């Protein structure tokens, strides 16, 4: 489904020094898998996620999503791939502040070429699944953090992407909202959704099929999570 | 896209409204200036058409500007000047003449212009008095009506009538026979203006003016063609400044919009990064800014044109003496021009925004 093949990514910091965020990382995620990427701050987890999602290309190595070499595409085609094949969920939700809930969820569908009516219908369906229909006409600033994250996941999944990428999705949520969100992720995964989550949360990681550990830009461990252990 | 643009404008309306206001002020100034220039050009054409090939002969020492402001100096010409010209070698070029003596008198403590004119006059309503015709303004201001007697410096005038439409520039004047004016103003045998009408389209008017000045020593011949030429030159200069003003205005609009969009792009880095992350293509991000700026430019253009209508009326009434309005062509120019300049500036300023690496800003959040 999604393969990172020996990807390396370096950054130049403000003081001019070079930081190797990813160092020859190779990772393969199968269809329907739920993978948690864990590691200390600055270990390269988010860089890996952005590289997998077609947001930020590696300096070397390749990323394949299905049969597509993601970084061989131009900016516009890569943007098209992001809006149709990949869904992103962020720690700080990153909802579009000037759109209401239904339009936030419908936005990627409209970008993908669906009519506004069709996109909003899809968004309503998604909001129903998320229990957010009553908040459809509200703006992000009027929502609780848990509600914002639910809208974020709705937006990420409205185009039925091949893979859902989440960057610290429970980092801004309290325990109750975090648990609810994990239940939601598990539910979507149970329906066949491929999920890659970057997290510090042990509880979240334990819900995954696999837990991949990264330290200093290198994969140091790749072990089954609780789901897989239970299955086996 | 349209809905997204309007949603974006709804949030950023304050900034875009300020831009639209600035655009409106610049467009209003440009449109009003252009409309007044255009009306001035039209007015000169009208004037030239109306006056044809008349020539104004004044005493050499009389300042032309002062003459038009009804300030008359002591210099005069002999009232025989028309006869002298008609008996000269250029008589065949002169179709008609009108000699006048202008001066100011005080009637009932009020200053009023007295104009003595050759020609046929109505009979005086009161025996032993000279006839006088009053402009409506003078009649109203001085409290005279037909039959009223006016005593002026030992001369008795009686009001023969009030003119419906007084001649150009004599909106507040008393017109009397030339000899009466000479008596009242104490300048017997004198005139201080002579209008000549002729058909001299086939000859050199400037050369004819020189001939008039030679035949009437102490005179200065002013051709309407010369005045019109000078005025056209002034209008052409205004036109050139209008182009400079147009360029300066366009650059100001472009600069304002570019500054706004750049500032927004810097401030909205996180939003832009997010939009890019969820699959908004660079061209759509650019289109969002360009469409928003273009719409505010169009709004500014419409508001500017609407503001220019009363401004043009006010300006033209004061500079041309008649209220003019900007043409509909200028509406299209204002709206399309402002929209294009604003959108173009936004397109330039958006380049950095669309080149943004979303991972940089998503990492910051």
Q: How far is B273 from chain A (nearest CA, A)?
A: 9
User: Alpha-carbon distance B45 to B151, whole Å?
Assistant: 43
CATH of the domain at A66: 3.40.50.300
Contact B359 A55 (CB under 8 A): yes
Supply the pLDDT for residue B225: 64
List, in order, residues 6 or more apart from B240 with CB less than 8 Å away: none
Q: Which domain holds residue A71?
A: 2-231
Provide the phi-psi class of A113: left if phi over 0, else alpha when psi is between -120 and 50, else beta.
left
Q: Please determine, for residue B357, whether its predicted confidence score (pLDDT) is greater than 80.
A: no
Interface confidence (ipTM) of the complex: 0.75
pTM: 0.57
Per-residue pLDDT, B321: 62
Mean pLDDT of the region B51-67? 80
Distance from CA of B334 to the nearest CA of A (A): 30
pLDDT digits 0-9 by tens, B142-158: 999 999 999 988 889 99
**A24-33, B190-199, B299-308: least confidently modelled range:** B190-199
Residue A4 or A17, more confident = A4
Inter-chain residue contact B275 with A56, CB threshold 8 Å = no
pLDDT at residue A149 greater than cutoff 60:
yes
Please tell me the distance in Å from A103's CA to the nearest CA on chain B.
9
Contacts of B272 in chain A (CB under 8 A): none
pLDDT at B322: 65
Q: How many CB pairs under 8 A join A and B?
A: 78
Give the mean model confidence (pLDDT) for residues A210-217.
93
In the predicted structure, residue A104 carries a pLDDT above the cut 70: yes
Count how many domains chain A has: 1
> What are the CA-CA distances from residue A173 to residues A138, A148, A150, A169 (Å)?
20, 10, 11, 8
Confidence of residue A228 (pLDDT cuts 50, 70, 90): low
Domains of chain B, by residue range, sit at 2-46+230-364, 54-199
Helix (H) or strand (E) holding A231: helix A226-231
- Chain A CB within 8 Å of residue B274 CB: yes
Pairwise CB contact (< 8 Å): A107 & B278: yes
For residue A113, pLDDT beyond 60: yes
For B230-239, what is the mean pLDDT? 67
Please list, in sequence order, all residues whose beta carbon lies within 8 angstroms of the beta carbon of residue A47, skipping any fewer than 6 positions away: A9, A21, A22, A56, A217, B359
Beta-carbon contacts of residue B360 (< 8 Å; ≥ 6 apart):
B273
CA A54, CA A77: separation in Å to the nearest integer?
Answer: 10
């Amino acid at each position: 489904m999604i393969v990172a093949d020996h990807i390396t990514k370096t950054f130049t910091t403000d003081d001019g020094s070079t930081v190797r965020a990813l160092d020859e990382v190779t990772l393969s995620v199968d269809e329907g898998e739920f993978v948690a990427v864990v590691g200390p701050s600055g270990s390269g987890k988010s860089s890996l996620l952005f590289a997998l999602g077609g947001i930020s290309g590696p300096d070397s190595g390749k990323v394949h999503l299905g049969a597509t070499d993601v970084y061989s595409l131009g900016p516009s085609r890569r943007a098209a791939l992001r809006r149709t094949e990949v869904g992103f969920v962020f720690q700080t939700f990153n909802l579009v502040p000037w759109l209401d809930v239904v339009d936030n969820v419908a936005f990627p569908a409209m970008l993908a070429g669906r009519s506004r009516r069709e996109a909003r219908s899809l968004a309503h369906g998604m909001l129903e699944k998320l229990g957010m229909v009553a908040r459809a006409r509200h703006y992000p600033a009027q929502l609780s953090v848990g509600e914002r994250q639910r809208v974020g996941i709705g937006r990420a999944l409205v185009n039925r992407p091949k893979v859902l990428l989440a960057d610290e999705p429970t980092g801004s949520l309290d325990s109750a909202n975090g648990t609810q969100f994990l239940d939601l992720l598990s539910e979507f995964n149970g329906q066949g959704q491929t999920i890659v989550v970057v997290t510090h949360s042990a509880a979240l990681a334990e819900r995954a099929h696999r837990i991949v550990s990264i330290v200093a830009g290198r994969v140091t461990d790749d072990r089954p999570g609780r789901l897989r252990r239970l299955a086996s | 896209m349209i809905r997204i643009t309007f949603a974006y404008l709804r949030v950023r309306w304050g900034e875009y409204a300020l831009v639209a206001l600035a655009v409106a002020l610049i467009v209003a100034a440009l449109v009003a200036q252009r409309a007044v220039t255009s009306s001035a050009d039209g007015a000169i054409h009208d004037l030239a058409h109306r006056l044809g090939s008349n020539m104004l002969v004044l005493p050499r020492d009389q300042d032309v500007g002062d003459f038009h402001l009804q300030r008359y100096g002591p210099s005069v010409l002999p009232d025989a000047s028309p006869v002298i010209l008609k008996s000269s070698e250029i008589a065949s070029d002169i179709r008609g003449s009108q000699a006048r003596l202008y001066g100011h008198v005080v009637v009932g403590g009020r200053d009023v212009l007295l104009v003595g004119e050759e020609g046929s006059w109505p009979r005086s309503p009161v025996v032993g008095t000279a006839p006088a015709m009053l402009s409506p303004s003078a009649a109203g201001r001085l409290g005279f009506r037909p039959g009223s007697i006016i005593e002026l410096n030992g001369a008795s005038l009686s009001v023969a009538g009030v003119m419906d439409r007084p001649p150009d520039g004599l909106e507040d004047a008393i017109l009397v026979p030339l000899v009466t004016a000479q008596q009242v103003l104490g300048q017997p045998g004198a005139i201080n203006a002579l209008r000549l009408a002729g058909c001299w389209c086939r000859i050199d008017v400037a050369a004819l003016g020189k001939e008039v000045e030679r035949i009437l020593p102490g005179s200065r011949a002013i051709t309407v063609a010369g005045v019109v030429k000078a005025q056209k030159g002034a209008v052409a200069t205004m036109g050139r400044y209008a182009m400079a003003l147009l360029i300066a205005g366009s650059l100001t609009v472009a600069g304002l919009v570019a500054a706004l969009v750049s500032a927004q792009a810097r401030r909205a880095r996180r939003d832009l990064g997010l939009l890019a992350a969820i699959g908004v293509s660079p061209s759509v991000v650019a289109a969002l800014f360009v469409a928003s700026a273009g719409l505010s430019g169009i709004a500014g253009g419409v508001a500017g044109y609407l503001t220019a209508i009363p401004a043009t009326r006010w300006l033209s009434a004061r500079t041309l003496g008649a209220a003019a309005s900007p043409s509909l062509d200028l509406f299209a120019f204002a709206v399309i021009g402002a929209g294009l300049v604003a959108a173009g500036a936004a397109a330039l300023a958006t380049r950095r925004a669309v080149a943004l690496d979303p991972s940089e800003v998503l990492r910051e959040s």
